Amino acid sequence: MAYRPANPSLRDIVKQAPVLLTIMLATYLVNVSLQSVSPIITLYVKSMNIVNHAEIISGLIFASSALGSMFAAPILGRLGDRVGHHKVLLGSVLLLAVLNIPQALVHDPWSLLGIRFLSGLCVGGLMPSISALLRRMSPASVQGSVFGYNSSATSFGNVCGSFLGGVVSNYLGIGSVFYFVAGMLLVFFMLMLPQLKALDRNVRYSSESRGEKMGLD
C-alpha cells in the first residue's frame, strides 16, 4: 500500500518505518542522560565538601558535556559518513552508558568535570548520526513531520531527565541517578544490536534510492 498520508501522525510513520522509532528513542535517551544531572549537580558538588564557589563549579561541570559535544560532532559526523552513522550511533550509546558509571563513584568535582566532557564527546557522535539516519530513512514528503517528532523527543527527554534525576536522587541517592541512566542506555544498546544489520541494509538502500520511499515499503 502506498504511503501518502496528508498529515502523517507518529503512529502512521512508525507503522511504515519502525526503525525511525528506534532513532527517536535514541534522541530521547541522550537528552535524559544530559538533563538527569541538572537537578542534582550542585548538591553533588557540595557533597564532595566543596563550600566555596560550588555553584560556579557546578555550572562548569554541566557545561563541559556541551563543550565535548561541540568538539566531537564534526569529527564523528565525518566518521559516520565513512563507516556508517548507525555504527557511530551504537558505539556512542555504549560509551555514554559506560561513562555514566564512574560519575557515581567520583570524589572530587574535577574528575566529574572530566568524565562529563568525555560523555559530551559521545553525544557529539550521537546527534549527527541521528540526524543523518532520520534524513536518509524518511521520504521527502514527510521529512518535516519526522524531524518535528524527533524535536518533540528531544524536549520530552529534557523533561523526563530532569524529573527522573530529582525523583531517583530523592529516593535512592545522588549516585543512583548515574546508574539508572547507564542501565537505560545499556538496555537500549542491547535492543538495538539486533537491528544493526537491518539499519545497515536500510541505509545502503536509502543511499541508492535518492528520493524514493527510502526503506519504508
Q: What percentage of the chain exceeds 90 in pLDDT?
A: 44
2 domain-assigned: no
The CATH number covering residue 30 comes to 1.20.1250.20
How confident is residue 213, by pLDDT bands cut at 50, 70 and 90?
very low
pTM of the shown model = 0.81
pLDDT tens track for 52-95: 888 899 999 989 999 999 999 999 999 999 988 888 999 999 99
* CB-based contact 28:157 (threshold 8 Å): yes
Arithmetic mean of pLDDT over the chain: 84
| Domain-embedded: residue 54 | yes
State the pLDDT at residue 203: 57
Q: Is the predicted pLDDT of residue 37 greater than 80, yes or no? A: yes
Q: Comparing C-alpha atoms, which of 95, 85, 96, 124 is closest to residue 37?
A: 96
Domain contains 216: no
Euclidean distance between CA atoms 44 and 71, whole angstroms: 26
Decide: 139 and 214 in contact? Cβ < 8 Å: yes
Q: How many domains does the chain have?
A: 1
Tens-place pLDDT, residues 143-198: 888 888 899 999 999 999 999 999 999 999 999 999 999 999 998 898 888 776 66
Report which DSSP code applies to 104: T
At a CB cut-off of 8 Å and minimum separation 6, what does 216 contact? 3, 16, 17, 137, 138, 139
Helical H segments across the chain, by residue range: 10-16, 18-35, 41-46, 54-83, 85-103, 109-137, 143-172, 174-192, 196-209
Domain enclosing residue 89, as ranges: 17-207
Q: How far apart are CA 70 and CA 212, in angstroms?
A: 33
| pLDDT value of position 212 | 47
CA–centroid distance for 204 within its chain: 23
Does 187 fall in a domain? yes
**pLDDT confidence of 209, banded at 50, 70, 90?**
low
| pLDDT at residue number 106 | 93
pLDDT at 6: 58
